[in-house]
């Protein structure tokens, strides 16, 4: 027993100190010496497989846990679900989930998040309903954030409101993360006024709160309000990040605030030290394309090393067609043919 614990402890130490290969070697040595791994040993070595996103290694270890009857433990099963989720095997996630005899809140949360991660948001809601019916398990803030994300992706305001109503009755002081998920849900379900009301009622906010609200307002064409929230955010001492500027540029694009959008785009690097990425350039080109400022959009694309993106050039070509600008359209079409000469589009 002492010898087994010693080897297991050393293996965990290798895993925590970013020496995964040595940890795996030590696990193999345990098996060679006839020492039976326990749940702590498996969690340690499964953690190594999870970091490597090694599906085959994870499956091999899963089989071993089944033989030893350890897969029914939530302690082991939760890690197995995490591995399968990272490796893209939702069927295996579900199998590992139902193998756990006494599921804890982490088990349910992991499965709900995995369902949403693989795009099956309806199933995520179904699992949440089953969780509610489990007598000994109560959803935590992580559960609520996950299921509200599923509601947002399904645009299911009915389910989202039911959860919100239940929270008002049972939890008067909501976690910031849950509030952010509610704002996102209401915004994606088209209830932007409810999202804004909840945002203003929050006693405390973080950067995610501001980013979510700015993005929601931007997608609803409320550009001026989004920019007011952006200014308020800076007043309260929050520094914008790259996600903030995606929201700001989206807001400017949908509201037709082209000059403001150009100023904000240029300020990213100059004022905030944030290098524009492909997503920011896409927003900028969309904004300029809507306004018919096609030559300006073309110049900005040429400025960046990632400007050879087919979607960005395709977006600009669509804008050229919309505004009947043959001169710029011909140049853009030639660039697209150079980038992908075999594309039928």
Query: What pTM does this model have?
Result: 0.81
Helix axis angle, 105-117 to 90-99, nearest 10°: 160
Phi, psi of 60 (to 5 degrees): -60, -45
Do 66 and 55 form a contact (C-beta atoms < 8 A)? no
Percent of the chain with pLDDT strictly greater than 90: 63
At residue 15, the pLDDT reads: 46
Mean pLDDT of 286-303: 95
Same fold, 1-102 and 277-345: yes
Mean pLDDT of 218-226: 95
Percent of the chain with pLDDT strictly greater than 70: 82
- Over the stretch 314-327, which tens digit does the pLDDT of each residue have? 999 999 999 999 99
Per the prediction, the chain carries an average pLDDT of 86
CA neighbor of 44 nearest in space, from 21, 67, 11: 11
Give, as one character, the DSSP assignment of residue 283: H
329: left (phi over 0), alpha (psi -120 to 50) or beta: alpha
Mean pLDDT of 218-243: 96
CA neighbor of 203 nearest in space, from 228, 229, 172: 172
Check whether 331 has a pLDDT greater than 80. yes
At residue 9, the pLDDT reads: 47
Check whether 8 has a pLDDT greater than 70. no
Do 102 and 91 form a contact (C-beta atoms < 8 A)? no
CA distances from 116 to 98, 106, 113, 236, 314 (A): 18, 15, 5, 33, 30
Which range has the worst mean pLDDT, 34-38, 190-194, 244-248, 271-275? 34-38
CA neighbor of 230 nearest in space, from 216, 213, 242: 213
- Over the stretch 45-71, which tens digit does the pLDDT of each residue have? 666 655 545 667 777 777 877 877 878
At residue 17, the pLDDT reads: 45
CA neighbor of 162 nearest in space, from 110, 209, 173, 170: 170
Q: What is the CATH number of domain 277-345?
A: 1.25.40
Domains of the chain, residue spans:
1-102, 277-345
- Over the stretch 233-272, which tens digit does the pLDDT of each residue have? 999 999 999 999 999 999 999 999 999 999 999 999 999 9
Domain 1-102 bears CATH identifier 1.25.40: yes
Between 33 and 145, where is the model more confident?
145
- Over the stretch 86-141, which tens digit does the pLDDT of each residue have? 877 888 899 989 999 989 999 999 999 999 999 999 999 999 999 988 867 888 99
Cα–Cα dist 182/168, whole Å: 12
Mean pLDDT of 179-208: 96
Check whether 81 has a pLDDT greater than 50. yes
């Amino acid at each position: 027993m002492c010898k087994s614990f010693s080897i297991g402890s050393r293996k965990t130490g290798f895993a925590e100190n970013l020496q995964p290969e040595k940890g795996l070697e030590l696990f193999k040595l345990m098996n060679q010496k006839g020492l039976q791994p326990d749940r702590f040993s498996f969690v340690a070595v499964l953690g190594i497989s999870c970091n490597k996103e090694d599906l085959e290694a994870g499956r091999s270890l899963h089989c071993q846990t089944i033989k030893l009857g350890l897969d029914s433990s939530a302690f082991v099963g939760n890690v197995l679900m995490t591995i399968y989720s990272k490796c893209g095997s939702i069927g295996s996630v579900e199998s590992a989930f139902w193998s756990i005899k006494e599921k804890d809140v982490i088990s349910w949360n992991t499965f709900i998040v995995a369902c949403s991660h693989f795009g099956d948001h309806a199933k995520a809601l179904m699992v949440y309903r089953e969780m509610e019916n489990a007598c000994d398990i109560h959803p935590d803030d992580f559960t609520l954030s996950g299921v509200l994300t599923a509601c947002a992706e399904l645009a299911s305001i009915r389910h989202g409101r039911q959860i919100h109503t239940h929270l008002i009755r049972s939890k008067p002081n909501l976690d910031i993360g849950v509030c952010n998920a509610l704002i996102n849900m209401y915004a994606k379900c088209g209830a932007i006024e409810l999202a804004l009301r909840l945002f203003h009622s929050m006693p405390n906010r973080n950067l995610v709160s501001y980013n979510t609200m700015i993005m929601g307002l931007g997608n609803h064409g409320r550009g001026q309000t989004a920019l007011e929230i952006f200014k308020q955010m800076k007043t309260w001492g929050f520094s914008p990040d790259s996600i903030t500027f995606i929201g700001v540029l989206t807001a400017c694009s949908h509201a037709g605030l082209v000059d403001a959008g150009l100023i904000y785009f240029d300020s990213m690097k100059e004022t905030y030290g944030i290098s524009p990425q492909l997503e920011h350039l896409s927003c900028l080109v969309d904004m300029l394309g809507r306004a018919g400022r096609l030559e300006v959009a073309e110049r900005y694309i040429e400025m960046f090393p990632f400007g050879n993106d087919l979607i960005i050039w395709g977006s600009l070509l669509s804008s050229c067609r919309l505004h009947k600008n043959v001169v710029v359209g011909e140049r853009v079409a030639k660039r697209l043919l150079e980038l992908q000469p075999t594309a039928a589009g």
